[in-house]
Chain A
C-alpha cells in the first residue's frame, strides 16, 4: 500500500525525555524526530533500554516529554491529552491486564465502556475482532482460566475495540508461541491495510519488523540511527554479511581486531555451547572486505571451521550502525 499521499498521524520533533535516578540523570530519548503516515505499520526497533517503551508511553499520553513535541492526529500529547485519548489505544506484551473473575468478553466490554461505546456496538466489535484472532470460543471463559496466549489475544482485541486511529504496541508477541505470534501479525496487517489504522510497533524482534512493517526506525541509546523501509535499510549495507564458525570460541578481545579492519562496519557473535563454536557475523561494505576479514581471522590463529555469505538482516543493519549486536548492546547497558 502506498502511503505517499496519506496524512501524517504521528509526528515527533526533537523529542527528549530525561529521568532522575540515584545514578544521576538518564536520557531515555535524545532528540527523536519521526513522521508516521496513516495506515502505516511503523516499527521502532532496538535493544532493551534503547528508548522504545519511553517513546510509546509519551505518544500514548502516559508520560510528558522533557523537551520537544509529539503530536498524534494533530494534537499535542503533552498539552491536549484529552483530545488524543479517544483516538488511540495501546497494548504491551508484558501486560496481562484484566479482572480475573470476569469472562474475557466481560473484560473487553468493560474496556470498551471507557471509550463510551454503546453496548451493542461494543459486542459487535468484540465478536468481529475475536473471530479474527481465533478467540471466539474462549470469550466466555474467566480471565484467570485463559492461557498466556489467549490472554494476549484478549489484550490485542482490547487495543482495537474502540476503533482507534492509532495503536501503540509494545512487544505484543513476546513470550508467545510461533502460531499465536503469526496470527497476531496477520491481524495487525489486516487492521493497517484494510482499516487504515496507524500502528506503532515497538519491538526488538527483527523478524517481526521484517515481516509486517512498512517502515522501521532503528533506535539506540535514545537516538534514531536510521529510518527507512526494511528492504532499503538492508540494501544500504552494500554487501552480504560474512559469517564464520570459529572453534574454539575466541575471547572477545581477539574479535575486537575485526572491527578495526578497513571496510568492517561491525560484528556480533554468539556461542553454540553444544557444538563448542562461536558464530561470528561481520558486516562488511564489499566482497573484498569480506576476503580481508577471512584472511585476518586465519592469520590471528583462530580456527575457522566454515565461512559463508548471508542475506542481510536488520540485525546486521544495527551492527553496521552501532558496531555491536543487540546482545552486546544490552550487556553494555546492564553493566
Chain B
C-alpha cells in the first residue's frame, strides 16, 4: 500500500486529499499519479531528491499548474483550482522557496502586497503599519522596524515575514517550499519555532518541503517521500528515523547512477 491505510475515502478529518494527480510538461512526466492527504492540524513533511517534483506538486495543489489528471479535495469537496488567487481565497497559502517578497518594498507593504488597505484611491499606510506591527508581535516575529526595506533584513527574517504574510489572511492551510533553505542554524530555529507555534496555537495543517531530514523530526507529524512521480513512502515520524529517510533517498541515487539515468 503506497499511501498508508489510515485514510479511508471521504474521511472527514482530511483537510486536503490528492488523488491520482498527473502533471506532464511536454513529454516529461513529472507527477505520475500522486496520492496524498493531510489531516486537519497535521504537519506533513514532503521529501524527495532534487527534481523529484515536490515543488511541482505544491504548485499543482495551489492552482499554479493545472493537473493533467487526478482529483483534489479540500475539506471533502472536490476543487478545480484555476489560479493561485483562487486557492488563496479558499485559504490555501503558499510560501515558495524563491522568496516572493519584494526587496525594494518595506516590510508592511510586503505584508499587504496585493491585499492593500486603502482609503478611496490611496494606500492606507498608517493602518497597514498598525496591523503589521500588531500581527508580527502576535506571531513572535522580531524585526528592527516594519518600515525597513526587506532587502535590509536577514534571510531568516525575510522568511519569517513571508510565512507571517501567508498566515495573515486567515490561512486554513500552509504550503511551505523549503522554508529553511539557505539558512543558518539560528535562523532555521526561528522559522521552526514559528511553524511550531502555528501548529500548536492555530492548528493550521501544513505541508513542508524539507531537505534536512533532522528538521522533519522537529515539527512534522508524518513524512512522505515523492519519487518517480509518486508518493512511495508514507509514515508517521515516530515510526521512522533520519537514517531511514536518508537511506531511502540515497539508495535511489545509487540505483539511478548504476543505470546511467541522471537523478532528474
Q: Do A and B bind each other?
A: no
- Residues on A lying within 8 angstroms of B by beta carbon are none
